Structure 1
Amino acid sequence: MKTLFVSYRVTDLDRSLDFYTALGYAELGRVEAGDGARLVILKFPGEPAASLELVHRPGDGPVDVGSGFDHLAIQVETLTTTLETLNEAGLEAEPVQHPGGPHGPKTSWLTDPDGYRIELVEWPSGHPDGITPADFA
């Protein structure tokens, strides 16, 4: 297993992009998520794939510092095996989803005791680790 990227909900996307690009991040791509919501995927220039996602949902109002964290994504080798292991440990994950269709990634979600969401991701065979420019072609 390995961490894929961290996702933060932000109140002002332009202000956040100014900050993170000043820090050294570069924009990899954007996704329009509907209802004015946008996702911007970032990475450091030396990284082969995304490491940070900024989530802007204007309809949700300002971000509360206590709830600004959106989710943590973790790459797994085989989602089915991982879910079996988690189940044996007493952790219940949600059913497997196919957000990119039948040939896309497989995902499942967990919620920690505080309510933070964790996305488990198994990439399809041949897909590079993480999110790359090819995912936005």
Structure 2
Amino acid sequence: MRLLHTMLRVGDLDASLHFYTQVLGMKLLRKQDFPTGKFTLAFVGYGEESDTAVIELTHNWETSSYELGNGYGHIALGVNDVYATCETIRAAGGKIVREAGPMMHGTTVIAFVEDPDGYKIELIGCE
């Protein structure tokens, strides 16, 4: 496994992109709109996603701001087989909160597990 990205919910995507790229010097690696889900994902980082962990900025079109504390989303881990990894985690007593399968607005296979404090960890198929 390796750390892929950390997701943050942002109220103003343009302002966030300016901050991360112009203020912090990251590169905009990719950006995609999901009209049926009414959200946009933008990935920023100092290196390519294949080499280093990055930040996923998620902009939900109908939400203009968040209270500090609920803006945190999840940590993502790349795994070879999401289904098998879920079974291994379940066998070890881990809690699966979203079973392995394609994401709702795409085809990438994902799952979510929850740590003892309730923080979510996304498993993403990287086969």
Q: TM-score, normalised by structure 1?
A: 0.74
Q: 1:1-137 residue pairs with structure 2 within 5 A?
A: 1-21=1-21, 22-34=23-35, 36-44=38-46, 47-49=47-49, 51-93=54-96, 94-99=98-103, 100-101=106-107, 105-124=108-127
Write the distance in 2 (CA, Å) between the matches of 1:59 and 1:113: 31
Write the distance in 1 (CA, Å) between the matches of 2:78 and 2:13: 26
Q: Is the 8 A contact 2:86 2:100 kept in 1?
A: no
User: What SS is found at the alignment partner of 1:119?
Assistant: strand
Paired AA for residue 95 in structure 2: E
Paired AA for residue 43 in structure 2: I
Q: TM-score, normalised by structure 2?
A: 0.80
List runs of 5+ in structure 2 lacking aligned partners. none
User: What SS is found at the alignment partner of 1:59?
Assistant: coil
Offset, 1:42: 1.2
Q: Is the 8 A contact 2:11 2:60 kept in 1?
A: yes
Q: Is the 8 A contact 2:29 2:48 kept in 1?
A: no
Count of residue correspondences: 119
Offset, 1:117: 2.2
Offset, 1:36: 4.4
Write the distance in 2 (CA, Å) between the matches of 1:77 and 1:107: 11
Hey, which of these two has a bigger chunk of strand by percent? Answer: 2
Identity over aligned residues, as a percent?
A: 33
Which residue of 2 is the match for residue 135 of structure 1? none
Hey, which of these two has a bigger chunk of helix by percent? Answer: 1
Paired AA for residue 38 in structure 1: T
- Cα separation, partners in 2 of 1:27 and 1:54, compared to 1, 3 Å: same
Offset, 1:12: 1.4
User: What SS is found at the alignment partner of 1:4?
Assistant: strand
